[in-house]
């Protein structure tokens, strides 16, 4: 990850990019005896290779257009480059980032990656690896700013991914998968911010998210460790009496995830929604509406998790509760540190990252050497701060509070209503649809992977086992076999034929030796010798065979 971040050009970045992909595969498959871990690792590796292929094409396009992969050179030349070429390159960079940052349509690998150990999930799949795609786009801001098409696509992809992941998280029952879907959803917010050209806000949310999401994963690991590796939230309940410290820290991470006022997540997540509304365009309104709905869903599934794990009646085995215990201090200490940052970091550093007038990382047209570049036409921070109605600013917070209270009421006071609701035909179909993650995996398996296997088999059949074998080893084998059979025909077993072969060979050697002496010096080039030798071979070797075959035919007659 350090190689990816500190490289001075796209080539060094790509080296780090590939390395973290390999390590992610190995860590997901850490428990290599589990079939599900094997499948999840292969899925993650395959999807990331798809994005890497697109990204490598983008780097080749960058080199072809600018003649270099150095950041400074490319960014200084980008304003004067061809508009269509910049758009194509931007789309290729986006394609690479979609796989690494788990965005639609290359997002389905991240929930499966929860087969990795929980500390790996906290580090790689919350704070570092999955944000590499966001970092790529932030680093490429001087290119993206000159492609409105790419920014528009990013806005739609980010907002759609946030909503799809949040709605899928509503029906998950695996503890770590719920947190994984929240990760995809928050990455969608970051991608949305990049599409809105608010790169400093996106970076601010990357940092805030790393604190509270790592806290949520470590708290989840503490819970799993306490209940004998049980991860199904339906088989928990009542753990608040056994894990009070973990409950408190998980609540801190959840509140920051919901972006309630005055915690870290509030200063970046709500600002993204305000900036979306202040664009005063269809894409901005689309992002604001889906982002606000996502805030409601995030609060609902977060407090659903807290209710099922800590607040409801115990649903696990008696032996599990007898052995439940708080984690050791060495496991609690990192969560306490992350909890402190999840509360205070946003407030302390908000002015530095996103305050009006700050030049920390944010560039303008006159300051193109800065790490991040925002075109003057896309600066909307002032409008978001002063021009928006108060109701628009408070709407995401109200929706989050409503979602949290609704989840607490339904799962603690009226669980039978949830059960009856899921038994209705319409709701059961919606439940199946959401639990199947919008059938993305079905689509891939039935219409892409299976077709790809068939196409690969056809190519193998026609080329590998067809043309290549015919021209290659199989063809050479047949050729030498035919030559050997033709040479074997010369062995007739008759003494006169052997005498003819000996005389012919002797005459050939004589002609080969004395031909240069007979010919003129200017006429002794290689081509001329071939013209003489080939007819000589024909008359000396082939003609006697024809004579013998004619003689044998006459003898038979």
For 165-184, write each residue's pLDDT tens digit: 999 988 888 888 899 899 99
For 528, counting Cβ atoms within 10 Å of its Cβ (0-12 exposed, 13-18 middle, 19+ buried), the class is middle
Token pair 């790689």 in the structure block, residue = 124
Six-digit token pair at 471? 């021209």
Do 78 and 190 lie in one domain? The reply is yes
- In contact, 501 and 537? CB cutoff 8 Å: no
Six-digit token pair at 29? 């498959």
Do 417 and 466 lie in one domain? The reply is no
pLDDT at 542 over 60: no
Do 233 and 252 lie in one domain? The reply is yes
pLDDT at 300 over 90: yes
Domain range for 322 is: 2-435
Six-digit token pair at 373? 């570049």
Q: Average pLDDT of 72-91?
A: 88
pLDDT tens digits along 85-133: 999 999 999 998 998 888 988 888 888 888 888 888 888 777 788 888 8
Give the side-chain half-sphere CA count within 13 A for 385: 11
Output DSSP code: residue 313. Answer: -
Of 295 and 459, the structure prediction assigns the larger pLDDT to 295
Q: How confident is residue 513, by pLDDT bands cut at 50, 70 and 90? A: low
pLDDT at 554 over 70: no
* pLDDT for the residue numbered 367: 43
Do 412 and 502 lie in one domain? The reply is no
Q: How confident is residue 540, by pLDDT bands cut at 50, 70 and 90? A: low
What whole-number distance in Å separates Cα of residue 81 and Cα of residue 142?
12
362, β-bridge pairs: 372
Six-digit token pair at 122? 């906290």
pLDDT at 545 over 70: no
What whole-number distance in Å separates Cα of residue 107 and Cα of residue 409?
32
196: nearest Cα among 224, 250, 241, 154: 154
Residue 207 backbone dihedrals phi, psi, to 5 degrees: -70, -50
Question: Degrees (nearest 5) of the Cα angle 225, 230, 232?
Answer: 135
Output DSSP code: residue 311. Answer: I
Do 163 and 289 lie in one domain? The reply is yes
What whole-number distance in Å separates Cα of residue 546 and Cα of residue 146?
80
Six-digit token pair at 553? 């035919």
For residue 533, give every residue at least 6 positions away whose Cβ sits within 8 Å of its Cβ, in sequence order, or none.
Answer: 511, 512, 515
Q: How confident is residue 231, by pLDDT bands cut at 50, 70 and 90? A: confident
Do 304 and 169 lie in one domain? The reply is yes
254: nearest Cα among 291, 217, 203: 217
Q: 3-state class of 260 per DSSP?
A: coil
User: Is the peptide bond prior to 105 cis by the omega test (within 30 degrees of 0)?
Assistant: yes
Do 136 and 248 lie in one domain? The reply is yes
Do 539 and 418 lie in one domain? The reply is no
Do 161 and 274 lie in one domain? The reply is yes
- In contact, 309 and 233? CB cutoff 8 Å: yes
Do 380 and 527 lie in one domain? The reply is no
To the nearest 10°, report the CA torsion of 492, 494, 497, 499. Answer: 140
What whole-number distance in Å separates Cα of residue 557 and Cα of residue 551?
10
Average pLDDT, the chain: 82
Highest mean pLDDT among 230-239, 398-407, 450-459, 463-472: 398-407
- In contact, 246 and 331? CB cutoff 8 Å: no
For residue 545, give every residue at least 6 positions away whose Cβ sits within 8 Å of its Cβ, in sequence order, or none.
Answer: 490, 497
Of 7 and 472, the structure prediction assigns the larger pLDDT to 7
Do 537 and 420 lie in one domain? The reply is no
Q: How confident is residue 520, by pLDDT bands cut at 50, 70 and 90? A: low
- The domain boundary residue, chosen from 403, 435, 467: 435
What whole-number distance in Å separates Cα of residue 370 and Cα of residue 367?
6
pLDDT tens digits along 350-373: 888 877 777 666 544 444 445 777
Question: Looking at the 3D structure of the chain, how many domains does it have?
Answer: 3
Over its C-alpha atoms, the chain yields an Rg (Å, rounded) of 35
* pLDDT for the residue numbered 369: 45
Do 271 and 357 lie in one domain? The reply is yes
């Amino acid at each position: 990850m350090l190689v990816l971040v500190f490289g001075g050009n796209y080539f060094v970045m790509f080296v780090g990019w590939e390395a973290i992909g390999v390590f992610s595969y190995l860590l997901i498959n850490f428990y290599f005896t589990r079939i599900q871990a094997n499948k999840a690792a292969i899925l993650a590796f395959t999807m990331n290779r798809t994005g890497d292929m697109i990204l490598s094409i983008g780097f080749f396009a960058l080199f072809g257009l600018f003649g270099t992969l150095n950041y400074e050179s490319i960014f200084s030349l980008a304003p004067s480059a061809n508009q269509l070429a910049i758009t194509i390159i931007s789309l290729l960079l986006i394609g690479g980032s979609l796989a690494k940052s788990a965005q639609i349509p290359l997002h389905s690998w991240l929930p499966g990656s929860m087969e990795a150990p929980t500390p790996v999930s906290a580090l790689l799949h919350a704070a570092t690896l999955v944000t590499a795609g966001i970092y790529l786009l932030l680093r490429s801001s001087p290119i993206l700013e000159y492609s409105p098409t790419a920014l528009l696509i990013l806005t739609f992809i980010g907002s759609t991914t946030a909503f799809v992941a949040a709605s899928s998280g509503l029906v998950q029952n695996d503890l770590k998968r719920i947190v994984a879907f929240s990760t995809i959803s928050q990455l969608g917010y970051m991608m949305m911010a990049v599409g809105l050209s608010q790169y400093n806000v996106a970076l601010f949310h990357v940092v805030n998210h790393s604190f509270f999401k790592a806290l949520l994963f470590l708290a989840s690991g503490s819970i799993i460790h306490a209940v004998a590796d049980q991860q199904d939230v339906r088989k928990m309940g009542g753990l608040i009496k056994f894990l009070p410290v973990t409950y408190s820290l998980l609540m801190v991470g959840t509140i920051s995830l919901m972006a309630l006022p005055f915690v870290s997540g509030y200063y970046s997540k709500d600002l993204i929604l305000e900036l979306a509304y202040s664009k005063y365009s269809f894409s901005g309104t689309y992002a604001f509406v889906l982002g606000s709905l996502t805030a409601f869903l995030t609060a609902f599934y977060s407090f659903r998790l807290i209710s099922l794990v800590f607040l409801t009646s115990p649903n696990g085995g008696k032996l599990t509760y007898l052995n439940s215990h708080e984690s050791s201090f060495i496991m609690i200490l990192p969560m306490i540190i992350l909890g402190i940052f999840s509360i205070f970091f946003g407030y302390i550093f908000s002015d530095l990252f996103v305050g009006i007038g700050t030049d920390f990382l944010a560039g303008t047209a006159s300051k193109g050497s800065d790490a991040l570049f925002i075109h003057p036409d896309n600066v909307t921070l002032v409008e978001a701060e002063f021009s928006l109605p108060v109701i628009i600013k408070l709407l995401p917070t109200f929706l989050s509070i409503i979602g949290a209270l609704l989840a607490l009421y339904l799962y603690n006071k009226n669980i039978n209503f949830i059960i009856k609701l899921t038994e209705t035909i319409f709701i059961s179909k919606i439940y199946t649809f959401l639990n199947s993650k919008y059938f993305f995996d079905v689509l891939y398996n039935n219409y892409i992977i299976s077709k790809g296997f068939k196409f690969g088999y056809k190519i193998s059949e026609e080329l590998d086992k067809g043309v290549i074998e015919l021209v290659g080893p199989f063809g050479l084998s047949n050729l030498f076999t035919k030559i050997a059979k033709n040479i074997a025909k010369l062995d007739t077993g008759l003494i006169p034929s052997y005498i003819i072969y000996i005389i012919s060979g002797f005459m050939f050697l004589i002609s080969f030796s004395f031909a240069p002496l007979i010919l003129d010096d200017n006429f002794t080039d290689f081509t001329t010798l071939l013209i003489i030798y080939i007819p000589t071979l024909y008359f000396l070797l082939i003609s006697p065979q024809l004579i013998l075959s004619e003689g044998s035919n006459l003898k038979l007659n």
